[in-house]
Amino acid sequence: MSVFMKSSNNATSWLFSFFKGDSSMCFFLMRLRILGVRGICVALAILAATAALWAQSDSRYVELLQPSLEQIMRELKLPGLAVGVVEDGRLAYSLGLGVMKLGEDRPVTPETLFHMASITKPFVATSIMQLVERGKVDLDAPVVRYLPYFKLHDPRYASITVRQMVTHTSGMPDVEDYLWSKPEYDDGALERYVRTLVDRDLLWDPGSKFRYSNMAFEVLGDLVAKVSGVSFEDYVDTHILRPLGMRSSTLLIKKADQARLAAGHTRGKDGVVRLIEHYPYNRAHTPSSNLHSNVVDMARWAMANINRGELNGHRIFKSSTYDVMWKPAVEAGGRGSVGISWFLSDQNGQQAVFHGGGDDGFLTYLILVPARKTGVVVMSNCDCAPIGKIWQQALSVALRTDDKDRHP
């Protein structure tokens, strides 16, 4: 037995060195070593096979992507960056660079939590479509059916439908001040915000044009809360985050692991990168902005959507629902077209679905190419990061395409 355990420990030591930087795998190996599992040879054989697959995939990113990311960090003096690439139902590559907060020696890792900004919106859309599947929401019904207190100064508001809001065709304007300096934390913040819209006018007739509106998504989040009978945050946690195993993610800042929460930064007119004055959180704007997540969890979100709603035996809604979500509803200018919240474009003849996010101190991006079972997520804790260049390079490596074939 002592010889067996010695050889097993040697094997786990090798795998520890191989999976250096992947905390979840290293944790498993640590438990394996401590517990002295009798079936360790079988487990190590499986892990070794997995390691070979990861080595084949990771080496490509280490060679073709990582030097560019490190160069961008150096040249632009960015505080932090996290990147993840999903291939064939697994997180094939993940990397954290830089620090969580300037002046502190806390490195960014794939488990560092970032303010995801507008990447929150597809979670609103998913919630809406779950309620549609359950017969509790009709996409073509007026919003006032579900929120009788939703009112604008412009009388045309009464005809705005759920579908128009979730496709950014409601005619509603955008939020002008998120009041990051005066955050609200209580359960009533979202409804109070919706009730303040009584003096706002529409930009044009509902359904006639595309106009990105964070304000409309705040209303949709409140609709989810009222129809479901729980807060918007609790609904998303119960029906999306927990079923998909996104254990570190939350919409509530006070529930985020503060030890893993990145601080936001911006570049001043003098070119110096500094901490932002106010962290971008206000519960009144949770549906448009407040998801906090990391590369590990967002990879699970990417895989669930690539799998058309299913991950590890858990299904968040029917596969056929994606035929509605990912069907172009209206042209969205430089973004291509928009479906149910998700933006849509062509990637080498195949559909790409994507959403970006940006708030004070943070930039994020998620793009999926479902037909290729591929996804890329990028997070930066500086709102000056060249996020477009980064995700395009990562996707190019993932899809093995030339620069000229990258998504525009």
pLDDT over 90 at 26, yes or no: no
Nearest residue to 367 via CA among 291, 314, 294, 306: 306
Query: Can you tell me the distance from the alpha carbon of 264 to that of 319, in angstroms, rounded to the nearest whole number?
Result: 37
Query: Can you tell me the distance from the alpha carbon of 354 to that of 374, in angstroms, rounded to the nearest whole number?
Result: 12
CATH number for region 58-119+247-405: 3.40.710.10
Report phi then psi at 25, rounded to 5. Answer: -70, -40
pLDDT of amino acid 8: 36
Strands 114-115 and 292-293: antiparallel
Q: What's the mean pLDDT in 340-355?
A: 95
The pLDDT tens digits of the residues spanning 29-39 come to 444 444 454 44
Q: What's the mean pLDDT in 3-11?
A: 35
The pLDDT tens digits of the residues spanning 82-102 come to 999 999 989 999 999 999 999
Cβ neighbours around 68 below 10 Å, total: 14
pLDDT over 50 at 10, yes or no: no
Helix (H, G, I), strand (E, B) or coil at 369: strand
Torsion, Cα of 44, 49, 50, 56 (10° steps): 140
Q: What's the mean pLDDT in 160-166?
A: 98
The pLDDT tens digits of the residues spanning 275-323 come to 999 999 999 999 999 999 999 999 999 999 999 999 999 999 999 999 9
The pLDDT tens digits of the residues spanning 369-400 come to 999 999 999 999 999 999 999 999 999 999 99
The pLDDT tens digits of the residues spanning 312-347 come to 999 999 999 999 999 999 999 888 999 999 999 998
Share of the chain above pLDDT 70, in %: 84
315 has which bridge partners? 310
Cβ neighbours around 243 below 10 Å, total: 16
The CA-based angle 114-246-124, given to 5 degrees, is: 75
